[in-house]
Structure 1
Amino acid sequence: MKKVVLVMSLAVGFCIAKAQDGGSNAIKINPLSLFLATGNVSFERAITENQTFQLGMFYSGVKISDLKYSGFGITPEYRFYVAGHREAMNGVYVAPFLRYQNFKVKDTDTKDKVTFSSFGGGGLVGWEKSWDSGFLLDLFIGPSYNSGKVKEEGGANEDNFKISGGIDGFTLRTGLTLGFRF
């Protein structure tokens, strides 16, 4: 147990020391997604002085009455910091992105299951602020287009499951993430 505490202390100390240097990596979470029973985490890495690559992933799962819902998604994006400090992870940015999503809705009584997946992309305008402590805040908004398909299994009827809200067609992607730069 003492070895684990020692290794963890050294790792935290290293991260804090790297954060003081500005760091070229960041790990972020979206705290608002927890209200939707979703875990959302992103990793961002500086590529140049004013460009970064970010890879975001989410997983969602909840059971309400006889319906079980689960899904995951992955979102790569490339950020260009164009105003403010004009440095990676600090300023106003524009970012094209792609997104793949896959969801399942299952009725545990009838064993009917509907799966739907989508692929799409869009563009964001955002603002990210990094503090000397290593903590950061990221706010963003932008249009997104997704093309999806629905597949029913068992006796399920896709007409009973109206698929919309970001799965197929145009939508708005917006968010707030909190993180740590190292």
Structure 2
Amino acid sequence: MKKLLLPALLLLAGVARGQNNAVKLDIFQPVLNTLAISFEHKLSESSSFQMNVAGTFGYTDGESFGFYGTGYDEITTSGFALTPEYRLYLSEKHPALEGFYVAPYLRFQHLSQSGSDYSGPNSGRFESSLNAFGLGVTVGRHWIFKQRFSLDAYFGPGYAFTAVSSDTPGYTPRKGDFIGYSNNLNYDIRGGLTFGVAF
């Protein structure tokens, strides 16, 4: 019994000090058939490191203009994104993993598309891909409830360098054909709301 007492007391002391890790799921990403999971680890009383991994699985976009003319395309998008970030917590009242923070980040994303164009004599399948490398900064607020549950909201600007390509003859892909990208802008807004478990 005495052998179990010391580890139990150390465990309780660790809980009293606060949580050092959190695993979180983005609440809104499933709307785009995307699963986004974040793991945050406390580095010091005022900083942490977070890695976000996201996967898009067969998001289907409905009608649009076909590349052989006007028509109905069923475009399916899949891919992944990796977003490491460093978080600097600003509150003196709360240690890291809780409170307001500023977070510079890097981001790599790969997306692939496939679809069908049903219009014109050359109707058929097309495929394209996008690779993007970006960076930016977010501001946010992280709450820890009952020393167990995590709620994290963040928002901020970013900039992305992108390249699009396709092996389909006669099809020239555009950056704006992909989810979250615009033909005329390299700037974007990154935001989210996550819920998870702290430990």
Q: Which residue, out of 116, 131, 138, partners 2:145?
A: 131
Q: 1:87 to 1:134 in 2, by over 3 A?
A: same
How far off is 1:87 after superposition? 1.4
Structure 1 gap segments, 5+ residues each:
1-15
Aligned pairs for 1:16-27 within 5 A: 20-21=15-16, 22-27=18-23
Structure 2 gap segments, 5+ residues each:
1-10, 63-73, 118-123
CA distance in 1, matches of 2:12, 2:32: 35
Q: Which residue, out of 93, 102, 105, partners 2:101?
A: 93
User: Is the partner of 1:158 in helix, strand or coil?
Assistant: coil
Q: What is the Cα-based RMSD across aligned positions, in Å?
A: 2.5
Letter matched to residue 78 of structure 2? S
Equivalent residue, structure 1, for 2:40: 44
Range moving further from structure 2, 40-49 or 22-31: 22-31
After superposition, what is the alpha-carbon deviation per residue over 1:4-34, rounded to whole angstroms, capped at 9, x for unaligned?
xxxxxxxxxxxx9798342211100001111
Aligned pairs for 1:80-119 within 5 A: 80-83=88-91, 85-107=93-115, 110-119=124-133
Q: Which residue, out of 171, 178, 182, partners 2:188?
A: 171
Letter matched to residue 50 of structure 1? S
Q: 1:117 to 1:140 in 2, by over 3 A?
A: same
How far off is 1:131 after superposition? 1.8
Q: Name which one, 1 or 2, has greater alpha-carbon Rg.
A: 2
How far off is 1:136 after superposition? 1.2
After superposition, what is the alpha-carbon deviation per residue over 1:123-154, rounded to whole angstroms, capped at 9, x for unaligned?
01111011234101111111000010001112
Aligned pairs for 1:150-161 within 5 A: 150-155=164-169, 157-159=171-173
Calculate the TM-score normalised by the size of structure 2: 0.75
8 Å CA contact 2:19–2:97 kept in 1: the answer is no
1:181 and 2:198 aligned: yes
Which has more strand, going by share of residues? Answer: 1
User: Is the partner of 1:88 in helix, strand or coil?
Assistant: coil
Number of aligned residue pairs: 167
Letter matched to residue 81 of structure 1? Y
Letter matched to residue 107 of structure 1? G
CA distance in 2, matches of 1:74, 1:18: 34
Range moving further from structure 2, 167-176 or 138-147: 167-176
Q: 1:17 to 1:112 in 2, by over 3 A?
A: farther
Q: 1:130 to 1:161 in 2, by over 3 A?
A: closer
CA distance in 2, matches of 1:32, 1:59: 13
Calculate the TM-score normalised by the size of structure 1: 0.82
After superposition, what is the alpha-carbon deviation per residue over 1:79-104, rounded to whole angstroms, capped at 9, x for unaligned?
00012634111110001000000000
The alignment-based identity, stated in percent, is: 30
8 Å CA contact 2:45–2:95 kept in 1: the answer is yes
